[in-house]
Amino acid sequence: MRYISEYSRRGLVNILAEKISQKLSENEKYSAIIEVVDCMNFMVIKGFTTNSNILNLVQFKDEFMKEESDFIEKIGLKRFNLIDVIDYKQSIVVDDAIYWFDFWNSKRPLYNESIIDMIENGKIAENTFESISYSYEPEVEFLFPLMYNDIPIKNNMSPLTISSEFPFGYSFRNGKTKLMYCEYICNQLFSVLNTDRILFKMSSIIDEHGDWGIEIKTNSQYSDSDVKSMVLDIFDFDLTKFETNYLKKYDFLDEIRKPLELKPWLNKDKVRELMIV
């Protein structure tokens, strides 16, 4: 997952998307998928929601400016306009959705260890960049172009328009709970599998054997089919219980503001049961 710097344009659009989605979801009474696009002089709010109550964006903006006054001051945001292109009272089908998630053997499996090392050991100053992504190496996104001789890491320049992205702006039932549940599983798998990466496919579709439609790909010494079988045997995939226990009282904005802090679902309550014969 992309590591997002809080005090940046990318931080702003994701915080806005998450707050708007929370408003529309009304404590998960409704579903919402919201994307915020920063076009410099105005923000375009687009997406879908099952909620029929149209959000008053003028009121929302006033509340946001008041609640986030310190944040707004730090990013130097003087003014902005919101344009509502949200489709209300829409049917959002989520049960058949298929998600592919990438996890890394680190203290926060959503992020590769090299990204965490860059942040925690001060190899790049926090809030001097937009985001850090990872494919084969870390790549830092800056608001302004930098050359390789300016900074000894791979980097790129932000696009003229920046959009929020999953999981921010998505209600829990639209993939957010699945992402965190898969992280909960993989955090424990890394304790028993000799692998640096796990690719996890999550689907709510139940197969002919009554099992969840998942796929797990690793480069460990065990076959992917054996790992999958072990996971299905040990984990109950009760997403409602998981959401109630770990996510209902969690401020999801901390995924931007405190992404590397220990999360409540990153416990290892099933490690002793994980065994491949």
pLDDT computed for residue 204 by the predictor: 79
Identify whether 107 is part of a domain.
Answer: no
Residues 150 and 180 in one domain: no
pLDDT computed for residue 155 by the predictor: 84
Q: Is residue 92 over pLDDT 90?
A: no
Identify whether 164 is part of a domain.
Answer: no
pLDDT computed for residue 147 by the predictor: 60
Identify whether 216 is part of a domain.
Answer: yes
Identify whether 100 is part of a domain.
Answer: no
Instruction: Return the minimum-mean-pLDDT range out of 92-96, 175-179, 201-205, 230-234.
Output: 92-96
Q: What is the percent of the chain with per-residue pLDDT over 90, rounded to a whole number?
A: 75
Q: Is residue 166 over pLDDT 80?
A: yes
Q: Is residue 152 over pLDDT 80?
A: no
- Boundary residue ending a domain (61, 92, 123): 92
DSSP string covering 3-52, please? EE-SSSHHHHHHHHHHHHHHHHHTTTTS-EEEEEEE-SSEEEEEEEES--
Residues 151 and 184 in one domain: no
pLDDT computed for residue 258 by the predictor: 96
Residues 133 and 212 in one domain: no
Residues 149 and 177 in one domain: no
- How large is the average pLDDT for residues 75-81? 85
Identify whether 66 is part of a domain.
Answer: yes
Domain count, the chain: 3
Residues 258 and 184 in one domain: yes
Name the pLDDT band for 246 (thresholds 50, 70, 90).
Answer: very high
Q: What is the percent of the chain with per-residue pLDDT over 70, rounded to a whole number?
A: 96
DSSP string covering the chain, please? --EE-SSSHHHHHHHHHHHHHHHHHTTTTS-EEEEEEE-SSEEEEEEEES--S---HHHHHHHHHHHTHHHHHHHT----EEEEEEE-S-----TT-EEEEEEESSSSTTS-HHHHHHHHTTSS-TTSSSEEEESSSEEEEESS---TTTSSS-EEEPPSSEE--TTTTB-GGGTHHHHHHHHHHHHHHTTTS--SEEEEEEE--B-TTS-B--EEEE-SSS-HHHHHHHHHHH----HHHHIIIIITT--TTHHHHSTTSPPTT---TTGGG----
Q: Is residue 148 over pLDDT 60?
A: no
Residues 150 and 72 in one domain: no
Residues 154 and 179 in one domain: no
Neighbours of 204 (CB within 10 A): 16
Residues 177 and 223 in one domain: yes
CA distance 27 to 112: 32
Identify whether 98 is part of a domain.
Answer: no
Name the pLDDT band for 144 (thresholds 50, 70, 90).
Answer: confident
Q: Which pLDDT tens digit goes with each residue over 15-65?
A: 999 999 999 999 889 999 999 999 877 899 999 999 999 999 999 999 999
- Boundary residue ending a domain (159, 182, 214): 159
Name the pLDDT band for 93 (thresholds 50, 70, 90).
Answer: confident
Residues 181 and 261 in one domain: yes
- How large is the average pLDDT for residues 109-116? 97
Average pLDDT over all residues of the chain: 91
Q: Which pLDDT tens digit goes with each residue over 186-212?
A: 999 999 999 999 999 998 777 777 778
pLDDT computed for residue 145 by the predictor: 67
pLDDT computed for residue 154 by the predictor: 85
Instruction: Return the minimum-mean-pLDDT range out of 30-39, 120-129, 146-155, 222-231.
Output: 146-155
Identify whether 133 is part of a domain.
Answer: yes
Distance of CA 133 to the CA centre of its chain: 13
Identify whether 151 is part of a domain.
Answer: yes
Residues 240 and 201 in one domain: yes
Question: Which residue range is the domain that position 237 belongs to?
Answer: 172-271
pLDDT computed for residue 94 by the predictor: 67
pLDDT computed for residue 96 by the predictor: 67
pLDDT computed for residue 173 by the predictor: 87
